[in-house]
Structures are given as structure tokens and as C-alpha cells.
């Protein structure tokens, strides 16, 4: 009996890449033979990259132990593997048009660049105060998101902008609290005011 549970899946025009809760990764093409490989840890992030022929040729998989594995598609042959500090890999994106280096963000907020041509095969760019749930690179600016918070960084790791997305909600909550206080104050004043006398009316049988 197979008790595996799908934890990640990625649908492409050529097939579906599926990751299981025991570290197994399977490629299910629309046409052809299913392929599988067992990773050392559970996959947490998956992305695929097109090759020169404009077909999907590579899968990049981040895992729960900070591993980043490069696999070929459709054969799922192991090309390379990198390891970053900071715990679980939470998000990834391409860092170069050549698709040979990638940005990797972790649960601890660390953002790394990894790749075969990166010095030391991996360089930590910066650390954000919180888990990085998503990141992207646009015009050499790194955009990250952590819950309701957003920030931008340059490629040298210096922060350019930091936005607290909870501020509008905090302001609205304060406005609601002020309105409730005014209503309670108005009700209290009404309760302290003298009440009109109620005359006893005769009971009609």
C-alpha cells in the first residue's frame, strides 16, 4: 500500500513535476515514461527552466534541509547540488539570464546566490528579519515578501526599501476603537441623564 502524500506539484506544458512527503520526486510527462528520483529531504520549492530549444530541460528543487538540487528533464538525472544556511528553502528565482545561478531564500530570512559559476558556489547576500515567502529579481533589484512586509535590496545586499503592510490595518483598527469609545461615551451620558417620569395608567378590565 502506497501511503505517500503529494507536498508540491508543478504543472508544465510537457508534464507534471510532483514531490512526495518522503523526498521522492516524480516527473509525469504527457507523453513518455514516468521518471523518479529520491532526494535527501522533502521538497519545499520547485521551478523549471527552459533550454536553448525553448523546451523545459532543468528542474531546480529546494528542500527542507537547505539543499538546492539541479535535475535534468525529462530524465531526472542529477546535475548538481548546493547547500545554503538558514534552514528550509522558502523561495527561489533565477539570478542570471543564462539560468546558471539562482537566488535562494530561507525560513531564517537569509538570501543566497548559488550556482556553478558563483564564487565558492554560494554567496550570502543579506539576511531579512523574518522568513522570506517570495522573491523576484527585476532590473537588478531583489524584491522580497515576508507575510505583510515587503522590501527591496540591491545585488550587493544593501536594503533600498522596507514597507510594513500591516500599518493600514493598524490604522483602521485604531479608527474602529475610537468609534466604539465614542459610542460607549454617548451611551454612558444618556444613562446618566434624568429619566422622564412614567405615570401609572389605570388598568382597563
Convert the pLDDT of each residue in 110-129 to its tens digit. 999 999 999 999 999 999 99
Write down the pLDDT at residue 1.
46
- Integer CA distances (angstroms), 109 to 63, 66, 89, 129, 160, in order: 15, 12, 10, 6, 16
Report which secondary-structure segment, H or E, holds 174. Answer: helix 167-192
What's the CA gap between 29 and 16, in Å, rounded?
Answer: 6
Q: Which residue has the higher pLDDT, 202 or 89?
A: 89
- The residue-averaged pLDDT of 16-36 equals 96
Domains, the chain: 6-165 (2.130.10.10)
As a whole number of angstroms, the distance between CA 73 and CA 47 comes to: 12
- Mean pLDDT (the chain) is 88
Query: What Cα–Cα distance (Å) separates residue 22 from each residue in 6, 16, 80, 122?
Result: 9, 18, 21, 27
∠ CA 94-155-66, nearest 5°, is 55
Say if pTM beats, i.e. exceeds, 0.85. Answer: no
Question: Could you tell me which of 8, 1, 2, 75 has the C-alpha nearest to residue 45?
Answer: 8
pLDDT digit string, tens, across residues 29-42:
999 999 999 999 99
How many alpha carbons fall within 13 Å on the CB side of residue 119? Answer: 3
Query: So what's the pLDDT on residue 193?
Result: 60
Amino acid at each position: 500500500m502506497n501511503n505517500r502524500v503529494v507536498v508540491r506539484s508543478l504543472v508544465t506544458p510537457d508534464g507534471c513535476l510532483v514531490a512526495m512527503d518522503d523526498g521522492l520526486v516524480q516527473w509525469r510527462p504527457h507523453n513518455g515514461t514516468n521518471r523518479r528520483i529520491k532526494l535527501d529531504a522533502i521538497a519545499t520549492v520547485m521551478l523549471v527552466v527552459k533550454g536553448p530549444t525553448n523546451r523545459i530541460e532543468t528542474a531546480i528543487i529546494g528542500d527542507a534541509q537547505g539543499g538546492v538540487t539541479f535535475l535534468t528533464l525529462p530524465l531526472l538525472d542529477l546535475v548538481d547540488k548546493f547547500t545554503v544556511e538558514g534552514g528550509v528553502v522558502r523561495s527561489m528565482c533565477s539570478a542570471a539570464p543564462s539560468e546558471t545561478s539562482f537566488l535562494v531564500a530561507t525560513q531564517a530570512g537569509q538570501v543566497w546566490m548559488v550556482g556553478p559559476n558563483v564564487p565558492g558556489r554560494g554567496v550570502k547576500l543579506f539576511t531579512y528579519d523574518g522568513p522570506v515567502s517570495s522573491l523576484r529579481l527585476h532590473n537588478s533589484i531583489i524584491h522580497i515578501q515576508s507575510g505583510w512586509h515587503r522590501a527591496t535590496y540591491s545585488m550587493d545586499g544593501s536594503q533600498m526599501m522596507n514597507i510594513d503592510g500591516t500599518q493600514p490595518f493598524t490604522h483602521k483598527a485604531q479608527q474602529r476603537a475610537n468609534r466604539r469609545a465614542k459610542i460607549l461615551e454617548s451611551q454612558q451620558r444618556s444613562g446618566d441623564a434624568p429619566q422622564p417620569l412614567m405615570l401609572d395608567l389605570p388598568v382597563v378590565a
